[in-house]
Amino acid sequence: MKGTHFSACRLALLALITAQYAFGLAHPPIEKRALPVLMGSAATFGAIAASSLSSSGATAITVDCGTCPGTSITGFPPGTASGAKSAGGTIACNAEADCLTAYNNAAGLTPTTALGVSDLGGLTLPPGIYSFPTSWATLSTTLTLNGTADPNGQFIFQITTTYSTSSGSQVLLINGAQACNLYFKIGSSATIISASALQGNYLAYTSITVGEGSSNQGTLCALNGAISLIDNALTAQTSCST
């Protein structure tokens, strides 16, 4: 009887450990992260999307672009892509994976500053990890980022749901701030309205729509959806460490 009871206890303990392990895999705990956040191989991409990448008009991408696991890239030509164009290829899949790593790292950071507003327009900010009073954020005018002469200073904006810009809005980098050190972690989708002049890495959990005539120096990442472009200019970011 004792042996039977012992075996039953061992089986019950094994079942409990197995269940806890499976639960941990399905729902990994949020880990606290430390700077820097890095883009890895995605740093050479102007746009990388999970499902599809489409363009209308004379979009010009002077760096790599691609999709993974999707394979739909349309609009080139009349758009131009002077770097690699990978539809579901290895380099695109590696870039998408590195975007996900950057997204998770940015999401796991503890905020250093809780902004009192959800509109970044008109603000001048030093390096830091920023949260918002609402789940969404916008850029109505000009956001000025002051690098404070620190070439390694990072700017991380943790946005729970959507991010949008207004027509003619811009991101201005001063005192050594670099586009490669700027991250917008966007919990759903980003909508960039026409004639926005942006900088940095935009890590959207779902999709990114970019309006006519807008530009970005950095990487647009859509982790689970599409990127839609129209007459846009996407250029390489400066050479931070990857």
Distance CA 147, CA 154 (A): 8
pLDDT at 225: 98
- Between CA 210 and CA 231 the distance in angstroms is 9
The pLDDT score that the predictor gives to residue 11 is 38
Q: Residue ranges of the chain with pLDDT lower than 70?
A: 1-33, 238-239, 241-242
Residues 6+ away with beta carbon under 8 Å from 142 = 121, 122, 169, 170, 171, 172
Structure tokens at 28: 């990994």
Cα 151 to Cα 155: distance, rounded to the nearest angstrom: 11
Within a domain: 13? no
The answer to whether residue 30 sits within a structural domain is: no
Residue 227 counted as domain residue: yes
| pLDDT attached to residue 21 | 29
Tell me how far apart the 2 most distant CA atoms of the chain are, in Å: 80
Q: Is residue 10 part of a domain?
A: no
- Domain count of the fold of the chain: 1
Whether 241 is in a domain gets the answer no
pLDDT at 240: 73
Can you tell me the distance from the alpha carbon of 106 to that of 38, in angstroms, rounded to the nearest whole number? 9
Q: What is the pTM of this model?
A: 0.86
Order of strands, edge to edge, in the sheet holding 52-56?
72-74, 52-56, 227-230, 208-210, 190-192, 163-165, 137-139
Answer yes or no: is 1 within a domain.
no
Q: What is 170-203 written as a DSSP string? A: EEEEETT--GGGEEEEESS-EEE-TT-EEESEEE
What is residue 32's predicted lDDT score, i.e. its pLDDT? 57
Q: Tell me, yes or no, whether 32 lies in a domain.
A: no
Q: Which domain holds residue 96?
A: 37-235
Peptide bond into 69 cis (omega under 30): yes
- Domain assignment present for residue 221? The answer is yes
Report the pLDDT value the prediction gives residue 239, as an integer from 0 to 100.
66
Only one residue has tokens 């102007």, namely 46
Give residue 34's pLDDT.
Answer: 72
